[in-house]
C-alpha cells in the first residue's frame, strides 16, 4: 500500500472530490490544466499552481450539481473558456464580466463539483 507524501499529510484546507468514476474525474481535471501528482488505486492527487485537490472514486458516490465551487485565479480566463468549449465540458456559468470585479466562468466536473476560474477585470 502506498503511503501519502508528507505534503499531503500536512496540507490544510484541501478539497476532496468523490465521484463514481475516478477515471472520468481525472480526464476532466487533466484536460483543463491540472497535473497529476500521483494515483493510487481509487485515489489521486492533482494540482494547479499550488492548489491541490484530492480525487477519489467510489461507485456509491452520488452525482449532482452543487451550489458550491472552488475559485481558481488564472492569467487568461478567455483561453480556458475556449478550451472548455472545444472539449465540450459541462458549464455551470458561462464566461462573463461580473459586478464583483472578475471575469469568470464555472465548469462542472463529472461528480457535479464546480470550479470557478477567474481573472481580475482591468
pTM equals: 0.81
Mark 43-63 as b/e (b = at least 16 C-beta within 10 Å): bbbbebeebbbbbbbeeeeee
Residues 41-75 have pLDDT tens digits of: 999 999 988 888 999 999 999 888 777 788 999 99
Q: Which fold has domain 6-120?
A: 2,3-Dihydroxybiphenyl 1,2-Dioxygenase; domain 1 (3.10.180)
- Helix boundaries (H) for the chain: 6-10, 22-31, 77-86
Cell numbers representing residue 68 in the block: 458550491
Instruction: Specify whether the backbone of 7 is left (phi greater than 0), alpha (psi in -120 to 50) or beta.
Output: alpha
Residues 66-89 have pLDDT tens digits of: 777 889 999 999 999 999 999 999
Amino acid at each position: 500500500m502506498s503511503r501519502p507524501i508528507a505534503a499531503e499529510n500536512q496540507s490544510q484546507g484541501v478539497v476532496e472530490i468523490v465521484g463514481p468514476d475516478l477515471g472520468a474525474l481525472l480526464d476532466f481535471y487533466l484536460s483543463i490544466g491540472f497535473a497529476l501528482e500521483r494515483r493510487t488505486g481509487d485515489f489521486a492527487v492533482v494540482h494547479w499552481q499550488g492548489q491541490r485537490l484530492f480525487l477519489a472514486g467510489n461507485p456509491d458516490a452520488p452525482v449532482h450539481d452543487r451550489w458550491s465551487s472552488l475559485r481558481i485565479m488564472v492569467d487568461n480566463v478567455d483561453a480556458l473558456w475556449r478550451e472548455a468549449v472545444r472539449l465540450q465540458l459541462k458549464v455551470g456559468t458561462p464566461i462573463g464580466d461580473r459586478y464583483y470585479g472578475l471575469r469568470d466562468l464555472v465548469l462542472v466536473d463529472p461528480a457535479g463539483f464546480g470550479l470557478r476560474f477567474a481573472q481580475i477585470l482591468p
